[in-house]
Amino acid sequence: MRLELLKTFRIVAEQGSLAGAADILGRTPSAISMALSQLEAELGAPLFETDRKNRPTPLGERVLEESVRATDAYDRSVDAIGRHATSLAGTVRIAAVPSATTSILPKAIEAFRSDRPEVRLEISDEGSQAVRHRVMLGEADVGIFSARPGEQTGGIPVQRDQLGIVCAAGGAIDASSGVPSWGLLRLEPFIANPLGKLVEHTEVAIQMARSQIEARNTSALLSFVRAGLGATILPKSAVPAETAELRFIAPTDPISRRELHIIRREDARLSPAAIAFWNVLARSDA
């Protein structure tokens, strides 16, 4: 049973005449009549009470319900495919390290959605290794992960940021008057997170091993520091500039930075929407 026959029947039933349906479909009334006869022959029963086509039979009422469902679903699918093909709709799956969700992603999403507001963005926060793994497995279209400056990762650097100690205002680290040093971490309990592995300092390695609390999510880390549970290591961009509860201290022994790299599978064919989002990220300031 062809969809075109159901569409023709629906329009005849809604218009109540062959002539009205012919005007809408751009066909002759005789062609419309032949299409209805074909549909009735397939069903083995009439769809209208009279030749005037203004009163469906009980079977015609039921077929009309199904015709409306079928043709509406088809029209929605055609519309969705068209919007997807022009990058106006679809889904983009993004795997990103938590700090990227507070630094690079908000501006990228704002720029992307200004042109493509109907695209669905699915964002998951993962560790750097998990981000790359999900992209390689095809579980994410675009990945954003942390790396040391200059590290060859197969990705493209899109942002560089200084790492530092984030502590509570008025705490032992904040009150220290010495030269900013990673050694200040011994003054408070340490809340570990994967970014600590990017800092090449003995005290950081010691505190990472001793830590009794570890978290990945940036918002959680900042909440723990605000609650007085200890200090942590984060990029400067992850610390709200307007907050009076937190302090960002940038040690110089050594100065430590991290880069955000974006990655995609070169052998995978991304959707137009995913390519568009990738291009927005690639235009970010490195």
Cis amide leading into 254 (omega within 30):
yes
Q: Which of 99, 119, 101, 103 is nearest to 276 (CA)?
A: 119
Average of pLDDT values for 235-252? 90
Q: Which residue type, as a one-letter code, is found at position 103?
A: S
d(CA 207, CA 215): 14
Place of tokens 């909440």: 223
State pLDDT tens for residues 79-109: 877 766 655 568 899 999 998 988 899 999 9
If you classify domain 91-155+260-282 with CATH, what class do you get? alpha beta
- Confidence grade of residue 54 (pLDDT, cut at 50, 70, 90): confident
Q: Which residue type, as a one-letter code, is found at position 174?
A: D
55-64, 128-137, 170-179, 219-228: segment of lowest average pLDDT: 170-179
State pLDDT tens for residues 15-26: 999 999 999 999
Average of pLDDT values for 200-205? 96
pLDDT, position 41 = 94
What's the CATH architecture for 3-85?
A: Orthogonal Bundle (1.10)
CA 241 and chain centroid, separation? 26
pLDDT at 160 over 80: yes
Average of pLDDT values for 187-204? 96
Question: SS3 letters for 215-270?
Answer: CCCHHHHHHHHHCCCCEEEEEHHHCCCCCCCEEEECCCCCCCEEEEEEECCCCCCC
d(CA 115, CA 106): 15
Does 91-155+260-282 match 159-258 in CATH topology?
yes
Domain ranges of the chain: 3-85, 91-155+260-282, 159-258
Mean residue pLDDT of the chain comes to: 92
Name the DSSP letter for residue 48. Answer: B
Average of pLDDT values for 236-252? 89
What's the CATH architecture for 159-258?
A: 3-Layer(aba) Sandwich (3.40)
pLDDT, position 286 = 45
pLDDT, position 197 = 93
pLDDT at 186 over 90: yes
Q: Bigger pLDDT: 284 or 156?
A: 156
Residue 230: CB partners within 8 Å, gap ≥ 6? 188, 189, 190, 191, 213, 224
Average of pLDDT values for 142-166? 94
Which phi and psi (to 5°) does residue 230 adopt? 145, -170
State pLDDT tens for residues 253-286: 999 999 999 999 988 888 889 999 999 999 875 4
